[in-house]
Structure 1
Amino acid sequence: MRSRRGKTLTEADIALWRQVARSVKPLPGRAPVEPESTPPPVAPAPTETSVLVVASMSAAKTAPPAAPPLAPIERRLRTQLRRGQQTVEASIDLHGMRQGEAHLALCAFLRREQARGTRICLVVTGKGGPAPALFGEERGVLRRMVPHWLRLAELRPLVLGFEEAEQRHGGSGALYVRLRRLREFGP
């Protein structure tokens, strides 16, 4: 069987479509559409993809709610931070830490500050020096990794959004992180 786009459908795809088509209720006043009459499919041996499809369908039913999306820091708040009308309530300096240490310190810091009710915090990563790296070391690793960590699902219940800090707070070597209130996300 071929789809509209000209791709050949596998037997597993056809069987899955028929199962979905049988579960759909027709619109009022319309007769149910009978599936195409084809010879009864021979039960193929479960392939890796069919097992993954069934597993993902069952996981989708029991999966926890998706992590809330990140939002950029509003222009008004950025202006207030730049002018000094809004203060950074807490900060953490990750200079000199290895990735593992920095990740654990960042997670603990964000959890602690959220519990205290902090709204805006500063995470200083450093810019990474211009000196050449020795023995394959990368420069500015935390500067690249911290934004990635802040986007991960484990920190989404804590982080509302983040952006590069203003020059007076460290510029490209620091990030403003806006924290969620405890009641905003959770059971």
Structure 2
Amino acid sequence: MSHKPRGLRPDERELWQRVAEQSVPLHPERAHPVKQVIERLNKAPAKHRVQHFTMGQTARKIAPQHNLAPHITDHLMNNHVQMDRKAFGKLKRGKLGPEGKIDLHGMTLAQAHPRLLGFIQSAHGQGKRLVLVVTGKGKAGTGTGPIPERRGVLRHQVPHWLLSPPLGTIVMQVTPAHLKHGGDGAYYVYLRRRK
């Protein structure tokens, strides 16, 4: 059977206080463990509440893009220069004026292809060296389907038509036009000399 401690009477408490005041600690360099805990708690920064968040809420929003092939403009600019370098420099700066122009705006692929063939062959037959083919920049597709859609069907198809047979034998260089001649919505087509 355990006994409950009786506690100190007031006269005993007073005596204990006097003894404690006169005593010298054996190890003064050691801090009292309870005091250490209290000091650590007082020095510790107050814990702040974590606000509600969702994963990626501060991430930059990027529209999904499916275009895996390089842009046609990049592809054309990386092609080897077939024409005279000095003339090519003038061409890129828009210093050479086109001798002919065809505008394919609003046409379907089926309408544009025969017109382009006829125009390029006619210009070559007349001895022209530089012509401008305007395709337009194209309309942005909805892009909601699983199959990627290119913006500007003609803009992407015309360079392929120009560099493949039958036009590939008479076309020397295809490059995006300068801003004053249509920028990304047009191409300079440099033709070979007639034999």
The count of corresponding residues between Structure 1 and Structure 2 is 114
Q: SS of 1:182's equivalent?
A: coil
- Contact 1:91/1:122 (8 A) holds in 2: yes
Q: Tell me the distance in 1 between the aligned counterparts of 2:93 and 2:81.
A: 22
Distance change >3 Å, CA 74–CA 163, structure 1 → 2: farther
Gaps of 5+ in 2: 1-79
Distance change >3 Å, CA 168–CA 78, structure 1 → 2: farther
Equivalent of 1:171 in 165, 176, 183: 183
Whether 1:160 aligns to 2:190 is no
Deviation by residue 1:81-135 (Cα, 9 ceiling, x = unmatched):
3556432100101001110111100000001101111000010111112363799
Distance change >3 Å, CA 138–CA 80, structure 1 → 2: closer
Larger Cα-atom Rg: 2
Q: SS of 1:122's equivalent?
A: strand
**1:144 corresponds to:** 156
**2:139 corresponds to:** 129
RMSD: 2.6
Q: Tell me the distance in 2 between the aligned counterparts of 1:113 and 1:166.
A: 21
Give the deviation of 1:152 after TM superposition: 1.0
**1:10 corresponds to:** none
Letter in 1 for 2:91: L
Q: Tell me the distance in 2 between the aligned counterparts of 1:121 and 1:158.
A: 12
Q: SS of 2:168's equivalent?
A: coil
Q: SS of 1:161's equivalent?
A: strand
Q: Tell me the distance in 1 between the aligned counterparts of 2:143 and 2:115.
A: 24
Distance change >3 Å, CA 133–CA 94, structure 1 → 2: farther
**TM-score between the two structures when normalised by the length of structure 1:** 0.53
Moved over 3 A (4+): 70-75, 81-85, 130-139
Q: SS of 1:117's equivalent?
A: coil
**1:102 corresponds to:** 112
Give the deviation of 1:80 after TM superposition: 2.5
**TM-score between the two structures when normalised by the length of structure 2:** 0.51
Deviation by residue 1:34-65 (Cα, 9 ceiling, x = unmatched):
xxxxxxxxxxxxxxxxxxxxxxxxxxxxxxxx
Letter in 1 for 2:89: T
Mapping for residues 37-116 of structure 1, pairs under 5 Å:
71-81=81-91, 85-116=95-126
State the percentage of identical aligned residues: 42
**1:67 corresponds to:** none
